């Protein structure tokens, strides 16, 4: 079978799983139809379906077992977005990505997310996740390493309000890289008490703009926030 045919089969089956999970017709733990049924449904060969299933197994999205028992067949064990997150986290952890590139990617994703969050259908409960992190960062007794952990989670939580699963997954995957460069800057620069005062003030302004659904303001404030701290690392 050609490489293009393998990729087509993989994409077709993956899209089917994504769409079915999103619509609720498929849940984690459910079985996929058999090879013959999938081949007929998508107009591809059974060999193509088999290769696609193998690819999805490697990604950790499905688990296949032979036999006729309760654990047999091809079972969906992970959301595809989670598999994307694993791949991205491994890349971030192993590649020593340039700080400038991490900051630029972060800025693109966060400014876009906070601007679009203004019109997204998030609920007050979703915003509460970011509010709790904001409140926790007000504790003067927090060690800088705990503050930076909460800081990275705060930005991930706000970005998630835009409702874009891919952007949220990428932000989550970059969280440790973001936290890492903040920690390094704190250790090298010193003067944490002065820095944390500015960070808290900036966080409150960003949160207030998001809460008020002022997308352009939130986007501008988070850009200024990221740029300000980046310049502290130089």
Domain's final residue, options 61, 78, 95: 78
Q: Which of 36-40, 164-168, 203-207, 227-231 has the highest mean pLDDT?
A: 203-207
Q: Using DSSP bridges, classify how beta strands 62-65 and 73-76 pair: parallel, antiparallel or unpaired.
A: antiparallel
What are the beta bridge partners of residue 64?
74
Query: How many separate domains does the chain show?
Result: 2
- Same domain for 118 and 89, yes or no, is yes
Mean pLDDT taken over the chain: 83
Same domain, 7 and 44: yes
Residue 59: how many other CB atoms lie within 10 Å: 17
pLDDT above 50 for 6: no
Secondary structure of residue 86 in the 3-state scheme: helix
Listed residues 17, 45, 78: the one ending a domain: 78
pLDDT for position 10: 64
Taking only Cα atoms into account, the Rg of the chain, rounded to an integer number of angstroms, comes to 22
Residue 225 CB contacts under 8 Å (≥ 6 apart), including other chains = 199, 202, 203, 206
Stated pTM of the model: 0.65
Write out pLDDT tens, residues 44-100.
Answer: 888 888 888 887 776 667 888 765 555 568 888 776 666 665 566 556 555 667 778
Task: Report pLDDT digits (tens) over 127-183.
Answer: 998 999 999 999 998 888 888 888 988 999 999 999 998 888 888 778 777 877 778
Query: 65 in helix, strand or coil?
Result: strand
Instruction: Quickly count: other Cβ atoms within 10 Å of residue 124's Cβ.
Output: 8
Domain end marker among 63, 78, 93: 78
Which of 5-14, 179-188, 224-233 tops mean pLDDT? 224-233
Q: In this structure, what token pair is assigned to residue 204?
A: 């409150």
For the domain that residue 87 is a member of, what is the CATH number? 1.20.120.530
């Amino acid at each position: 079978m050609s490489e293009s045919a393998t990729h087509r089969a993989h994409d077709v089956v993956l899209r089917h799983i994504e769409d079915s999970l999103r619509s609720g017709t498929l849940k984690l733990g459910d079985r996929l139809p058999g090879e013959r049924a999938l081949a007929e449904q998508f107009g591809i060969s059974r060999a193509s379906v088999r290769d696609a299933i193998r690819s999805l197994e490697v990604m950790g999205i499905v688990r296949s077992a032979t036999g006729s028992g309760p654990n047999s067949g091809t079972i969906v064990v992970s959301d595809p977005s989670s598999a994307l997150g694993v791949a991205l986290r491994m890349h971030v952890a192993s590649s020593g990505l340039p700080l400038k590139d991490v900051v630029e990617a972060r800025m693109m994703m966060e400014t876009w997310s906070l601007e679009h969050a203004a019109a997204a259908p998030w609920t007050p409960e979703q915003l509460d996740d970011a509010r709790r992190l904001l409140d926790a960062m007000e504790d003067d007794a927090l060690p800088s390493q705990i503050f930076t952990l909460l800081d990275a989670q705060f930005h991930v939580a706000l970005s998630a309000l835009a409702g874009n699963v891919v952007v949220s997954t990428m932000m989550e995957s970059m969280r440790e890289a973001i936290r890492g460069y903040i920690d390094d800057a704190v250790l090298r620069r010193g003067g944490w008490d002065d820095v944390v005062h500015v960070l808290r003030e900036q966080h409150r302004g960003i949160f207030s703009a998001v809460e008020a659904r002022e997308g352009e303001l939130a986007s501008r404030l988070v850009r200024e926030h990221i740029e300000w701290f980046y310049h502290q690392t130089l």
